Structure 1
Amino acid sequence: MTTADTGVSTMATHQTAPGTDTAPAAAATTAGNRTAALRRRLAAQLLFELVLPLGSYYGLRAAGAGQWLSMVAGGLLLLPWIGYGIVRRRRVEAMAVFSLSLVVVGTLLSLVSGSPRVLMIRDSWLTAAIGLWVLGTLLTRRPFIMTASRGIVIAKVGEAGLVEWEARWDAEPTFRHHLRLVTAVWGAVFLLDAVLRVVLAYMIPVDAFPLTSTVLWLALLGGLLTWHNWYLTRHGMKL
């Protein structure tokens, strides 16, 4: 399962980067570097949050390890990634602490119950919490998509372009409506993923769950991103 940052695509308007026809090449290079950095971060998230946990589970099972140990090992692989994020940003983020707590609490609960299915629904707590948080931002002045897209907008149009883009929130009711609608859909999809994971955890064999839940998440995320880009394009809100 990926974190909230994974899969968050652009939320912006059709506009060109501010400046003149003689804008320095350095600005374009900087924007390109920012975009490349975003892509590297996404690739790292996919590796540590999807590929390694899934590969470790089935690798350990093939080596004869039990279901519980194989599932716990996949969760422990997230710890270096979470620690790296804290060190790199030089601050402790709420999402990192929450993810770490899920690994610890899920492992402890599974020790008490002796059931690997307790570990299987661990990610459901995370996606449900994210979904509720995303929907909760609808009550604020800056819904989830508004804030999540800032880095991408800066990468494409720079700081000045970001100021212009954010100013539309106060000036255009239609702009606010579109951002709130997209935010609501994102929150609903995260909640749907949480519910479906719990259903799967108690309906399919344990060994089938890691792959099935990963495919489920990728399918939901792929459908969400496809709709997201279609909606923004249709309403003229893409850069």
Structure 2
Amino acid sequence: MVYEALDSTLGDTNALIASAVPPLLWSGYELAKTKRLDAVSFLVVASILLTVAATALGGSPKIIQIRDALVTGAVGLLFLASLLLEKPLIFYLARATSARNTEQGAAQFDAMWQMPEVRRTFRVMTFIWGVGLVLQTALMCLLAWVWSIDRYLLLSPFIGYGIFGLLMLWSVWYGARRKALAALQSPVQVPPAGEPIP
């Protein structure tokens, strides 16, 4: 709506820059309310900074148009690069979330990392998220090239959040499947003689 209202008077580049103001204000409100910068707010702020950088370099409308996708792709590449580390990036994100929810959360995650199945689970999830985010960026760049600016601004959030939602659903399904498999593979605890079987 901001782009459509200002495009005719400010031009493509300035109207695209102005369209970044509402999500920036929303992220500022969320930061003031929760006193912490979550992943979504971080991506929005990073995309705004990329907009400022693109403007300083000449303000190409295409670069400004795909700023969110470029940040998402950079995060995907970070996920893939973290596979070279002892612990991939998704492990640290999950550990930080767990630490915020419970006092023992971080310690529990560190203990879980000693299990081979847990290490494999986090590595597979990091790989899938990394590939998914990079492919999402490639798709968004293609759509920005073939679609008009107003059509891209209208439909790209639905596509982006749709892909993000699919990755989240896959993560929930895969995590539950790996937990069920670990439970099946764990040795059966036989109670001592005289005690009832639970």
Which TM-score applies when normalising by structure 1? 0.61
Unpaired runs of at least 5, structure 1: 1-54
Measured in 1, the distance between the counterparts of 2:158 and 2:29 equals: 27
Identity of aligned residues (%): 29
Matched residue SS, 1:141: coil
The structure-2 alpha-carbon separation of the partners of 1:230 and 1:96, relative to structure 1 and needing over 3 Å to count, comes to closer
Unpaired runs of at least 5, structure 2: 37-41, 181-198
Please list every run of at least 4 consecutive aligned residues from structure 1 whose deviation after the TM superposition is greater than 6 angstroms.
94-97
Matched residue SS, 1:139: coil
Q: Which residue of 1 aligns with 2:97?
A: 152
1:133 has 2:78 as partner: yes
**Which of the two has higher C-alpha Rg?**
2
1:120 has 2:65 as partner: yes
Q: How does 1:194-233 map to 2 (within 5 A)?
A: 194-233=137-176
The structure-2 alpha-carbon separation of the partners of 1:161 and 1:198, relative to structure 1 and needing over 3 Å to count, comes to closer
Q: Which residue of 2 aligns with 1:26?
A: none
1:144-174 deviation line (CA, Å, top 9, x unaligned): 1111112432355x2224312321212x111
Moved more, 130-139 or 76-85: 76-85
Q: Which residue of 1 aligns with 2:119?
A: 176
Q: Which residue of 1 aligns with 2:52?
A: 104
Q: How does 1:35-50 map to 2 (within 5 A)?
A: none
Out of 8, 14, 17, the position equivalent to 1:72 is 17
Moved more, 143-152 or 174-183: 143-152
Measured in 2, the distance between the counterparts of 1:168 and 1:149 equals: 12
Q: RCO higher in 1 or 2 (8 Å CA, sep ≥ 6)?
A: 1
Out of 109, 114, 132, the position equivalent to 1:165 is 109
Matched residue SS, 2:80: helix
Measured in 2, the distance between the counterparts of 1:208 and 1:199 equals: 13
Q: What is the one-letter code of the residue matched to 1:231? A: Y
Task: State the number of aligned residues.
Answer: 173
CA RMSD between the two structures: 3.1
1:170-189 deviation line (CA, Å, top 9, x unaligned): 2x111100110001111111
Measured in 1, the distance between the counterparts of 2:19 and 2:78 equals: 26
Q: What is the one-letter code of the residue matched to 1:106? A: A
1:36-85 deviation line (CA, Å, top 9, x unaligned): xxxxxxxxxxxxxxxxxxx5334545x86533222111234555646985
**C-alpha contact (below 8 Å) 2:43/2:71 kept by paired residues:** no
Measured in 1, the distance between the counterparts of 2:127 and 2:171 equals: 11
Matched residue SS, 2:103: helix
